[in-house]
Structure 1
C-alpha cells in the first residue's frame, strides 16, 4: 500500500536537509562505528541496526538522494519492507514536503474494507505527526530550546492575567 501526504512546513529547505543529514549521520555513524560525512549520504549507502524494542535487525538502504529535491530509502525488517520518500519544493509559505510511504506487508494481507480504512487513517496520522515532529525539532534547535517550557502558574492576580494569554 502506498500512501502519499503533502504538507507545507514553516521551515527552510536548508533547515530540512540539514536536519535530515544530521539525523542520518548520527544514526549511521552510531551503527557503523565510524565517521561518515554528508558526502557519503548517497544512492547505494547501506547500514544495519538492531532495534532493542522489537528485538530485530533493521536494514536501511538509501535508494536516491539529492539535497534540495528528494530522499528515498528502504527499511527492511524480518516482517516488513517500507520505502519512504520525501520530495521537497520551496513555496511562498515555506517548504512543501510530499511524504510517500509504501508498506509491502500491507498489500500482501487481505484486509476487509473497514480494517483497511482504519489502518490507512492510522498511518496517515503517523505520517503527519512525523512531518510536524521534524518541523518542531528544527524550530526548537534554531531557538536553542530542547522542549517548550510553559511558565509556572503565578499567584499574583496581575501577573496571572499576563501569563494566562496564550502565546
Structure 2
C-alpha cells in the first residue's frame, strides 16, 4: 500500500528523528552503542515485544539520508516491508510511505474484507506520519514526551469484537 503526504517539517528534521529513533531502539534492545554512520543497508537487529511475547527481527534494506529508508520487519506471524521516500517541496517534506504486509496479499482476502482492511491500514499509516510530525514539532518547541506507537487495533473495532454474543 502506498500513501503520500506532505508534512510541515524539514528533511533534516525527519532524518534526524528517524536516525535517533533507530539508534535508540538498537542501543536499548541490543546493548550496542551504534552511531549514525552504522545506519546503512545490511544493518540487522532484533528486539523482543513483551506484549506479543515474540522476537522481532529488523533489517535495513536501503538507506540514503535525504532520499530513502527501507526496512523489513519479521515476526513469527508476518513479514512487513516499509519504506519512506522523501522529496523537499515548497509546502514542506513530501513523504511516500510504502507498506507491504505479506499476510495481506490480495489473493488471500475477499473484496469486502480487502476494502475494509485497506481503509484501516491507510488510517494507521496516516497516523504514523502525523505522529512523527507531531514529535518533531514538539521537540523543536522543547516539549518532550515519549514516543508511543499507535495501538494495534482501532478502539471502536476492539469494542465491537470484544462484545459477547
Shorter-chain TM-score tier: 0.7 to 0.9
| TM-score when normalising by structure 2 | 0.86
Unmatched 5+ residue regions in structure 1? 148-167
| TM-score when normalising by structure 1 | 0.85
1:111 deviates by 1.2
Instruction: Report the RMSD for the aligned CA atoms in angstroms.
Output: 1.1
1:108 deviates by 7.4
The SS at the match of 1:21 is helix
Post-superposition CA distance 1:18-52 (Å, at most 9, x none): 00000000001111202100000000000000000
Q: Distance in 1 between matches of 2:54 and 2:79?
A: 13
Counterpart of 1:9 in structure 2 is 7
Q: Distance in 2 between matches of 1:13 and 1:5?
A: 18
Counterpart of 2:113 in structure 1 is 115
Unmatched 5+ residue regions in structure 2? 146-165
**Structure 1 residue 129 and structure 2 residue 127: aligned?**
yes
Q: Distance in 2 between matches of 1:37 and 1:140?
A: 24
Instruction: Mark the structure with the bigger radius of gyration.
Output: 1
Deviating runs (4+, > 6 A) in structure 1?
Answer: none
